[in-house]
Amino acid sequence: MCGIAGVLTLDGSQADRDQLARMIAAVHHRGPDASGIEVRGPAGLAHARLSIIDLEGGAQPMASVDGDLWITFNGEIFNYIELREELLKKGYRFSTRSDTEVILNAYRAYGENCVNHFNGQWAFAIWDEQSRKLFLARDRSGVRPLFYTQTKNSFLFASEIKALFACSQVAKRIDPIGMDQIFTFWVTLPPRTAFRNIFQLPPGRSLAVTNNQIRVRRYWYLRCAPDPGFGNGNEQKASEELLHLLEDATRIRLRSDVPVGAYLSGGLDSTLTTALIRKIAGHRLRSFSVSFDDGDFDESAFQCEASTYLATEHSHISCSHGDIARVFPEVVQHAEQPILRTAPAPMFLLSKLVRKAGFKVVLTGEGADETLGGYDIFKEAKIRRFWASNLDSKWRPMLLKRLYPYLRDLQRQPTPYLKHFFHVKTEDLRSPLFSHLPRWEMTARLKLLFSSAFREEINNYDAVSELESSLPADFHSWPPSSQAEFIEFEYFLSGYLLSSQGDRMAMANSVEGRYPFLDYRVLEFSAKLPATLKLKVLNEKYLLKEASKGLVPQSIVHRRKQPYRAPDARCFFEAGAPAYVRDLLSPCAIKRSGIFEAQAVSALVGKFAAGKASSVKDDMALLGVLSTELLATQFLPN
């Protein structure tokens, strides 16, 4: 895993080596083991290396054997051994054992379609000297980030936005439309980011720059439409096939020339991943987890049970409210966008523990919830539809309260409020976005905190309409459960879980995360399964639980689903809270940035200071304001 950066001048002038040096220095944390720069006329490539495969021969930027192709690559191609053999049979030559050189020869063999041959997680750029073309690509799920921008004279790209900002020609400005999206969906809609004219290459896309023209092509998306009859009538066969795919996905993700560890949260997904590693590797495994001083969020009992059952050598980091407040500025700096939860902060501390233990690679369980029916939002949508079929029922709305026992504010609400909040109306049932309407509506209320000037810049923009216009052509014909899965996978997974909470927090401490559940074979298999094998009545991840039997403790297979959460805004209002909190939330600071209404923020802060803030909305509002003000302080000109 690494950091990459590069430039292509649009007037044909020589790429600036000093500029490339500044860009790659900005992402040194992604690759502290080595760095390199290559200038080929108008094209310049830079690389910061985290050595994992072919420690001696994998230096980058790397050239093809004939010297016509150059690459800078962030990620892993897990099936590189098999691809290398195929390419050798076709007559292609290799001078290293690295997966990087496999990409070069695959590009030579298959052109831009080379991405369809890869199983992995990647962001790379190839300079094709003969065609005078710069080719960029990002993996199917968006595990690895890739950003780009264009100035008057150059096209620039990098693993992180801060590397683009290392160029003096790149303006640093908050994008009001990007902010409107974050304060609706928690994420921006690719290619938009939180900064004006800074774009992200969406997952499953490639980009080519030729003759000063930029062309983006979608090469893959997850079609969440069940195959009629697929898996029905033979649950055992379906669970065996799922387990076989997960085993192979885990096997190839253990390919590494450095030790590999595992995150062990105590939930089903991470415990099964850890069990498969033990089954395949057969040696004593290092596992890592985060626990909380606050019992409402702590899962350490399950973590210890899983570690004991699987005989791992386990380490954990205990996270307090004060720890979250202390590292939050670093978290925002690495996330490079406002965040509405503190959950990334413990993950930042966890990756620091992993790196301190001498590990660069961990396997984790992300990706199972999205396509195997794991999230509460899928249950919620099912209950809402069930209620809507009998609106006069007195007990059906009670199912929603049982679903969220940890949301105290929700528990106090009467049925009319629940009916309104959860959009249990006929017209809402017809919406293809039905599953997510309550979440988005609640988050969108936070935009009332925006200043009048900032709202004027947003004008009448409708974020939900833009998302709906970007959906696949056949989306409206999919079953409701498949529509909900796609929205979670396409937007929230890549934009938040794999970014703010995933890649950014791990790579801040030079740790690479690998995700067996995001193997595209597992994803495509899961997307074809009928909804009843994922969410059986209200039993989440039913088929995965069946596949896990005998590998995972039964207590973990059958434990009540507990979403990963961390203590939120109250962390910033306890005795000894860092001074930056008071400074950034002061009326003077709020007025200076101009993004939020100072009076409204002061009222919110007063509510927390008096101990009267208790809702999820209050937590998100405070964190949205604080993280945005941190972002402005860290990235914008003074």
Q: What are the residue numbers of the active site?
A: 2
CA distance 539 to 533: 10
CA distance 150 to 156: 6
How many C-beta neighbours within 10 Å does residue 382 have?
Answer: 21
* Cβ-based neighbours of 415, under 8 Å, separated by 6 or more: 394, 397
CA distance 616 to 598: 21
CA distance 346 to 174: 27
CA distance 345 to 243: 32
- Name the DSSP letter for residue 491: I
Q: Which residue's entry shows tokens 């390419």?
A: 87
- Local structure of 309: helix, strand or coil: helix
CA distance 273 to 270: 5
* Cβ-based neighbours of 129, under 8 Å, separated by 6 or more: 40, 43, 67, 68, 69, 70
Side chain identity at residue 26, one-letter code: A
Do residues 122 and 136 make contact, with C-beta atoms less than 8 angstroms apart?
no
Do residues 5 and 49 make contact, with C-beta atoms less than 8 angstroms apart?
no
Do residues 583 and 626 make contact, with C-beta atoms less than 8 angstroms apart?
no
Phi and psi at 535, nearest 5°, equal: -120, 95
Tell me which H or E stretch contains 42: none
How many C-beta neighbours within 10 Å does residue 95 have?
Answer: 11
Do residues 103 and 114 make contact, with C-beta atoms less than 8 angstroms apart?
yes
Burial of residue 353 (number of CB atoms within 10 Å: 0-12, 13-18, 19+):
middle
How many C-beta neighbours within 10 Å does residue 63 have?
Answer: 18
* Token pair listed for 298: 């702590």
CA distance 593 to 49: 36
Closest CA to 541 of 363, 405, 365: 365
Of the CA atoms within 13 Å of residue 111, those in its CB half-sphere come to 5
**616-635 and 321-335 helices, crossing angle to 10°:** 50
- Local structure of 241: helix, strand or coil: helix
* Cβ-based neighbours of 573, under 8 Å, separated by 6 or more: 581, 608, 609
Per the DSSP assignment, residues forming a β-bridge with 214 are: 209
